[in-house]
Structure 1
Amino acid sequence: MMDKQSSNTSPTQAKLIKQSQQTTSALSNADDVIEERIELENLLNTDDLEELREHGFLEDNVLNKQQFISFLQNTLKRGTEKDYEELFECIDVTKEGVVSWDKLATYLMLKLYDNDDREKASSVPNWKGLKSVMNAHRDSIKRIQHMDHYNRYLSISKEGSVCIYDEEMQLYKTFKTSTEACKARDLWITYFVLMPNLNKIAVAYTSKEIIIYEVTSKLEFGLVYRIVDLKATPFCLDYWSDEENLNDAILSWGDVKGSVHAILFNSAQIALFERPAQPSSNETLQYIEHLECFISCSTNPKTALVVGWLERAGSTIKITDFGRERSNYSVRIRQLREKRTVEISQGLNSFDYTRNFNLIASRGQLLSFSKDKILRIWDVQLQICLQRLSNTFPRGPE
């Protein structure tokens, strides 16, 4: 009877029956079924899950197998009834016959984690071949940091060796750092940090100091500042600068006692620290005979010009010199009886005095002293009087 039915089947019907048998055979393979189900799960996007949550599992309802399959068929518009049935069986692992939103969400999350783990396990890192790097360090390396501005790598080791490498990790330069606080054999570096917006580097030493170096265009270190007399050895460093205002920066460090310290800079581009005022040396000194006074200048604005007058009489003392034929002679000692100071911005590097005009010439300025005992400071270029001082100078020869 089967043979008779087969003989009556048209070629078109036979082709459809063959395709149906191939589809059934493909779905009967367990691996293929799993692949179809996994693909369906991966096709569940955020909108599909929101639709399931708001309408399928409204008010925390549960769905049995038939309700679950019907809802997915009407909502997703993709997949087959067998795919939905397989998905239901995977979600209902306790065989309760119903699934909830929590069960569906838990299942999907576990599948995502599993897929991620399998992908990581199957991926092979594309490592480059190993190569040897020339190393000039003789002790433990404290840190390696990339110098973005120079496209170089910088490493410093415990004993103070500095190595600079190019982008291919080929040794470009090596040298050693040092400090005045200890001998080279006792030198011990604990950490360093780059200060990229300033082209500087801060290095911490066990001698309880932090040295800030200027990184030159030749990639050499020039000492700029030393932070000394720290209470404990700095062990780690960090540096931060504001990208919008590079003058604002913070250098912080932690020490071996567990304390954290920070220095806040608000003019980092100009100078990290205000240098202490140094006593200015006298740049020029002259004795003006007819005025019986000394005139000196310095670069200190507060003592830019100083005029000192000698006593008229003074005192006379006798000196005995046994090395000369004339053993007794007199020496007249005259002290300064009065001194006047003139403040000038930026100070004075030099001056000269002319008796004919009672003028003191300096950089861009003239100081005149008239018979009425008034001192005037003139701007040479603008030809105006900048300052007038009266009744402050003692009488001298007319």
Structure 2
Amino acid sequence: MGTAVEVGQLESRMNAKDYMHLQSIFVDCSGKPRSLSRTEFIHLAWRSADRGSKQEYGLLFDSVVVTQKSSSLLHSSDEVKKEGHVDWGALCSFLLEETWRKLNQTKDFNVPLWKPRRTLTCPHRDSVQKVLYLQSSDQYLTVSKGGKVVLWQEVDLSVLSTCRLQNSTVASRDLWVTDVVLLQNVQKIAVSFTCEEVCFYDLRSKQDFPCKYKLQGLRFAPWCLDYWMDPCDADQAVLTIGDTGGQVSALHFTSAQTSLFESRCLQLDSDSAKVVSWDQLVKGRHSCCRMETHKAHAPAWVRKVLYLSSLRAFASCSTRPQSSMVIGWRDEGAGKMRITSYVTRKGVWDIDYHRQWNLIATAGLDDQVLLWNPYVTSEPVCALAGHLNEVTAVRFMQTKDQLLSFSKDKVLCLWDVSSQLCVQRVAGVFPKVQEDTHTLLFLREERQHLLLSFNSRLLLLEGTEEEKRTMTYGHTLNSALRKSLCRQE
């Protein structure tokens, strides 16, 4: 017989639709309820539900039968093996009993106590593409699709100044910012544009941010960026780029504080910016910057990139199921990058990494948040099921072992990573917007600031110093099972 842990793992991966499919196998052709033998149950359940193995359904059946036996519904082990049958009521009773058992074992969780939401007075007129925190000046920086930059006071989120990024490559009306990252060790921001450029702007200027470098000649539009610097050596840094052609490129800087690129290879353009040729980087003409690439996502767009410093690897995601998430790395002395692909049912919008737990969270188009061990590609560690629409963003709270997720139907969930339970659900406080609204989630744990953008609108959820304690069991099927047992619609 399967252990409670083994059975619980299958149960935690199933959703309401799976249970509806299971219920249907307990009805015969005439519409009358029926009971099933072990062989019948395994065959029909495995074929009807969208997850789980035959072995897991066998373990589930055995657990239900043994529960019946302990309740004096069966009387001998021979009967369990030869005549043991399970009906829908017995299965529901077992699942509810497991729910109550887990409920009694749950613990208290500290969850944020949010102040009333606050809609910020926002100078942006088009979609906010990125929110950054500038630690050197205690300010927030936001950049919109059209290149408008807004600096915000950290204390009260009041607007300090605005300016517009300059790029002479395209007309202002055609400018389209796709992503922005902070290069904190050199006081710059890197900005990607749909005109197939990545520009580097200096933050030390007291007026508009001047463009210092233009990385030109990319084959596709860069769509997402990530930047990491070595905390022990500020000269060592990695800029990762994901593009609309499915390519992930990593630029390794070895003397970032002196110069990102070699000056002898550069020319000036009309903005007085130094032009960096992508082809020259590919050919290794810059000794202070080497490049690594892979095209495992092609032809899908790369939606998010992350450099995993502890693994010396690059994680990325796409909405293509076969390459929902890809991790690329290079072994010591190896010439070619090694690639590992992770498959999901519908693809992934977003990813995040928890350094202490060594877990990657994925925001799925199948309404699920999956947690992955980077070393295991066959299946996720667990599935966090609670959203009813596509999950668009995930963010780990590194200091609390918690995870935030946000879905298209504007529901924010807070998960406890260790117990895999949803400990807080926030809904009904976000603005009513169209389904295709561009949404961004930014978390700053130190200040308990959670900023969400809905196109050009910015909304702040701020946690108080006090936290409320809650006890919860995050199973979404309790009410459905109860209604089924009580013959309710």
Task: Using structure 1 for the length normalisation, give the TM-score.
Answer: 0.41
Bigger Rg over Cα:
1
Q: Which has the higher strand share?
A: 2
